[in-house]
Amino acid sequence: MAVLAVAVPLGVAGEWAYSRTGVQLPALLRDVAVGWAFIAAGLVAWQRDRERRVGTLMIAEGLSWFVTNFQGSGFPVLVFAGIWFGALNEAILMHLVLAFPNGRLKSLAERRLVTALYVLALAGGLAYAFVNGTPYDPYRCAGCTTGLPVPAPGDRLALVASHAGDGLGALLGVAVFVLVLRRWARSSGPARRELAPVWLSLGACALLIVSHGWEASPVRPPAIAALAIWIADILELAVPLGFLAVLLRMRFVRAAVGELVLSLGPDLSPPVLAEALRRALGDPSLELGLWHDESGDYRDHAGRLVSPAGAGDARLATLVDRDGQPLAVILHDPALAGDSRLLDAVAAATRLSAEPRRLAARIAASADAERRRLERDLHDGAQQRFVLLSLTLGSALQQLGQRPDEPALRATLARAADELRTGLGELRELARGIHPAALTERGLAAAVESLAARMPIPVHRAVAEERWPPAAEAIAYFVVSEALTNVARHARATAAHVTVARAGGRLVVEVSDDGIGGADPARGTGLSGLCDRLRAAGGALSVESTARMGTRVRAELPCE
């Protein structure tokens, strides 16, 4: 509202002043349109906190656009102001060009250049007003003077000063062009798209340079200079609209990230999310890495390291956490960094995706720990007690051996000892099922050997004699165990093969057989449960089973 209270009278006055110069109606309308387009775009941008800076610049551009027109007003003070601030809108436009889209200047060079532009526009305009006393070209009109004493036309000093100002303006314009070109060269994808209205502005700028150049040159066909200014103005009308379009597009992208999360539905698995983010943000180089507690780093769904430090200059790393606990890292185009809310939206989506995985991994890890604990409790508790009991019974039997007069008691005790032995055996099997001691104590090779010894068919093994993180070993063991159980139950195979090996930072487990095949992984509850666990650990399970060609179960999981 406050903006409009200033802008409306300023705009009306400006256009009234412009109309006094005898300008034709189309040119007048175009001038009105450019000024108001900037103000309107600025107001739209102002609605959003993060676009407020750039909105301010756009409104300032619109207002200064009108002020320039005061040169045609006929009131000496206003004419003076019009001349003084005549080039201000060009300086503001260049500022906008350099600061788009977040309204901040990114380097010292940019800040210095913008300062120089303002100094030149204001000091040059002031000098021009004092030296010339009459407006720029399109604003020449009857009685349009500052009313101040001016040097005689053709005065060399005045001429040199005026040309120097125009020449300097042209040079600064070139500098802006170079800086924007540099930014373009260093950015990619989304950042380049943001630069579209900037290029449009620079087109206008180039034409202004040409027109200024013409004014500075001794031979200047005014018709062409006027034409250049006219085209530049047309472009300038496109400029605010271009800026507005990009701002609105960024809002749309933000909304799209939210939409995206909704549209993904239940499948929020990291690879799906990463692909969706790439599409929504228009950044094909985007990488998503999820935090793995076991390895203490970020990895993508294939287990490759995604290092925040390895982002380099071309990409930026955004860390996503939950209450200070690392969850994920997103490597993305730096352009997205200017937009904190967009990144918030992306982070929220990532959290939704990463958190269940992390929770599942936690639950699986604690279940593992619980199994190990149970096994230990059994080992140190019940099993130990039974062993002691068996020791006691043994010595009772031995003592009885010296007294041959109690055959019935002896038989009873022997039966008890037998029962106890069976009980110990059963307890041992139970403990093994909960968590095989061989796995904890000796690792996968020993545990797989133990499994193989229980199989009714030969199991050929190639298991790396290597220790892995306990969680990885447990999953790998249960994959082999479950797969071999299925082979024994359903495959009608004559032999099975188990391989466990390291491949590029991943533990790869493969169990194959030469049986009847046709296994349906969706129906095997054991394997599908393992599939969930593997996914939680950042791994994957695949089952290949063709009729009469045997079955191959392959599991991969990160293990560094």
Partner 1 sequence: VILVEDSVLLREGLDRLLGEAGFDVIGHAGDVDALTSLLERDLPDVVILDIRLPPLHVDEGLRAAHAVRRRWPAVGVLLLSQYAEPSYAADVVALGAQGVGYLLKDRVGDPAELIDAVRRVGSGGSAIDSAVVGRLLEGRRHDSAIDSLTERERAVLALMAEGRSNEAICERLFLGSKTVESHVRSIFAKLGLQPARSDHRRVLAVLAHLRG
Chain residues that interact with partner 1, rule: CB under 8 A: 376, 379-380, 383-384, 387-395, 398, 417, 420-421, 424-425, 428, 431-432, 437-438, 440-442, 445-446, 449-450, 452-458
CA 294 to CA 557: how far, in whole Å?
A: 12
* Residues whose CB is less than 8 angstroms from the CB of residue 149 and which lie 6 or more positions away in sequence, other chains included: 133
> Pairing relation of β-strands 459-463 and 496-503?
parallel
Distance set, CA 255 to CA 137, 349, 351, 355, 542 (Å):
47, 12, 17, 22, 36
CA 317 to CA 323: how far, in whole Å?
A: 19
Question: Least separation, in Å, of the C-beta of 466 and partner 1?
Answer: 14
Shorter beta-carbon distance to partner 1: residue 200 or 498:
498
Shorter beta-carbon distance to partner 1: residue 450 or 499:
450
Question: Least separation, in Å, of the C-beta of 437 and partner 1?
Answer: 5
Question: Least separation, in Å, of the C-beta of 509 and partner 1?
Answer: 18
**Quick one: how far is CA 428 from the chain centroid?**
51
Shorter beta-carbon distance to partner 1: residue 263 or 392:
392
Question: Least separation, in Å, of the C-beta of 433 and partner 1?
Answer: 12
Question: Least separation, in Å, of the C-beta of 424 and partner 1?
Answer: 5
Q: Are 131 and 213 in contact (CB under 8 A)?
A: no
Shorter beta-carbon distance to partner 1: residue 10 or 431:
431
Provide the greatest CA pair distance for the chain.
148
Element (H, E) at 288: strand 287-292
CA 496 to CA 453: how far, in whole Å?
A: 12
Shorter beta-carbon distance to partner 1: residue 454 or 502:
454
Question: Least separation, in Å, of the C-beta of 462 and partner 1?
Answer: 13
Handedness of CA 329, 332, 334, 336 (dihedral sign): negative
Burial code (b: 16+ CB inside 10 Å, e: under 16) for 450-485 equals bbbeebebebebebeeeebbbbbbbbbbbbbbbbbb
Q: Are 533 and 475 in contact (CB under 8 A)?
A: yes
CA 118 to CA 80: how far, in whole Å?
A: 18
Q: Are 508 and 540 in contact (CB under 8 A)?
A: no
DSSP string spanning 417-449? Answer: HHHHHHHHHHHHHHHHHHS-HHHHHH-HHHHHH
Residue 14 is encoded by which pair of tokens?
């400006």
CA 109 to CA 536: how far, in whole Å?
A: 49
Shorter beta-carbon distance to partner 1: residue 40 or 445:
445
Question: Least separation, in Å, of the C-beta of 365 and partner 1?
Answer: 18
Shorter beta-carbon distance to partner 1: residue 264 or 424:
424
Shorter beta-carbon distance to partner 1: residue 33 or 396:
396
Question: Least separation, in Å, of the C-beta of 261 and partner 1?
Answer: 45
Shorter beta-carbon distance to partner 1: residue 450 or 485:
450
Shorter beta-carbon distance to partner 1: residue 200 or 459:
459
Other C-beta atoms within 10 Å of 30: how many? 17
Q: Are 510 and 553 in contact (CB under 8 A)?
A: yes
Shorter beta-carbon distance to partner 1: residue 234 or 424:
424
Handedness of CA 419, 423, 425, 429 (dihedral sign): positive
Question: Least separation, in Å, of the C-beta of 438 and partner 1?
Answer: 5
DSSP string spanning 354-423? Answer: HHHHHHHHHHHHHHHHHHHHHHHHHIIIIIHHHHHHHHHHHHHHHHHHT-TT-HHHHHHHHHHHHHHHHH
Shorter beta-carbon distance to partner 1: residue 208 or 439:
439
Element (H, E) at 34: helix 25-46
Shorter beta-carbon distance to partner 1: residue 32 or 488:
488
* Residues whose CB is less than 8 angstroms from the CB of residue 327 and which lie 6 or more positions away in sequence, other chains included: 290, 291, 320, 321, 350, 351, 354, 355, 358
Nearest in space to 342 (alpha carbons), one of 457, 403, 251, 466: 251
